[in-house]
Amino acid sequence: MHSDTSNTSIGGIGRDRIADLHETEGAAFRKARPKSQAKIGNGLPGFFGGVPMHWMNDWPTPFPILVDNAKGATITDIDGNKLDDFCLGDTGSMFGHSPPPVARAIRRQAGRGLTYMLPSEDALAIGPLLQQRFGMPFWQIATTATDANRFALRVARAVTGREKILVFNGCYHGSVDETMVRLIDGKPVNRPGLAGEFRDLTRTAKVIEFNDVSALEAALGDKDVACVIAEPVLTNSCMVLADPGYHDALRKLTRQTGTLLLIDETHTISTGPGGYTRKYGLDPDFFVLGKPIAGGVPASVWGMSDDVASRYADYNRTKEPGYSGMGTTLSANPLQFAAMRATLEEVMTQENY
């Protein structure tokens, strides 16, 4: 008879041992960072929770690393400790911190204006660069991949006249409301950790398991889904690769049911210069990319097919004029364009991959 060790161990390691290790490593962390501890050991002043963004409290260290500078794959804290950085700002700096071409582009643009709500000359280069690299004929710029996903989903609803969105269990698409659902015992529910959400998100969002073709057929069968939003590989619940033929089935079934397909490459752009989409020949209706697209400067892009662009142009000719619910004041600013151009032309190269 096996005893239940769930309360005494994690992964077979005793909880007491884990607690001792945490205490020992925490003490070593503090000892190596006396300046940091003096400055932020009790939290950064003026910030709720002691940090400027609550994710910074997710690190297991006694307090966050207080960074002095970062270059390439190395972070140096204010105590002079140099650390190999395997996080790279959660891949926002996927190609290294402050790539020289991006740093030069930022310095050059900084003295020429940071935001105009008008295009700069770098914008003339960006559109063709995106077309050539990722294959979509029409593009828009946003500031985060969350925003880009939101805007693409709004367009999908506009052109299909449908309300529902389909996502995969365990997916990651930033903080898009419709994706904040999961399956528990086979039933769709709001994610338990979601703050301040009183709506039942499953009213407008369906959620199924990745790689389950039968579930996909059933979910799309009512022809009430505007768009399937998908990572080509699930990246936030370990790495779940698509089964052979699954992407073909996904594309076939979405087309058969008049459902649009959005591929979010924000995490999978590490596959190659054109992402998983170009390497494996996917053919989505929307393409979204954020995080490293501008070398660490906040920026994202979302592209659409000829068909979607034509249908959206028709929609715009008939809708009431006024605010579309898409776009933000600082999106498509000249600093983004300068950094994005340097990234696409000189950093996200085949050689660097």
Q: With beta carbons less than 8 A apart as the criterion, state whether 202 and 237 touch.
A: no
Report the alpha-carbon distance of residue 214 to residue 291 in Å, rounded.
Answer: 33
In sequence order, the 6+-apart residues with CB closer than 8 A to the CB of 119 are 332, 337
Report the alpha-carbon distance of residue 62 to residue 59 in Å, rounded.
Answer: 8
Strands 187-190 and 82-84: unpaired
Give the DSSP H or E segment for 28. Answer: helix 15-31
pLDDT at 94 over 60: yes
- Which pTM was predicted? 0.94
pLDDT tens digit sequence for 98-136? 999 999 999 999 999 999 999 999 999 999 999 999 999
What pLDDT is attached to residue 192?
A: 87
- C-alpha 35 chain-centroid distance: 33
Phi and psi torsions of 10, nearest 5° = -125, 120
pLDDT confidence tier of residue 6, bands split at 50, 70 and 90: low
What pLDDT is attached to residue 346?
A: 98
What pLDDT is attached to residue 240?
A: 97
Report the alpha-carbon distance of residue 182 to residue 186 in Å, rounded.
Answer: 9
What pLDDT is attached to residue 1?
A: 43
- C-alpha 88 chain-centroid distance: 14
Q: With beta carbons less than 8 A apart as the criterion, state whether 138 and 309 touch.
A: yes
Report the alpha-carbon distance of residue 102 to residue 162 in Å, rounded.
Answer: 41
Q: Give 26 or 323, the one with higher predicted confidence.
A: 26
Nearest to 165 by CA among 272, 259, 27, 30: 259
For domain 112-347, say whether CATH 3.40.640.10 is its number. yes
pLDDT (average), residues 13-39 = 96
Q: Domain residue spans in the chain?
A: 112-347
pLDDT at 75 over 80: yes
pLDDT tens digit sequence for 30-47? 999 999 999 999 999 999
Give the DSSP H or E segment for 246. Answer: helix 246-256
Residue with tokens 């998908």: 230
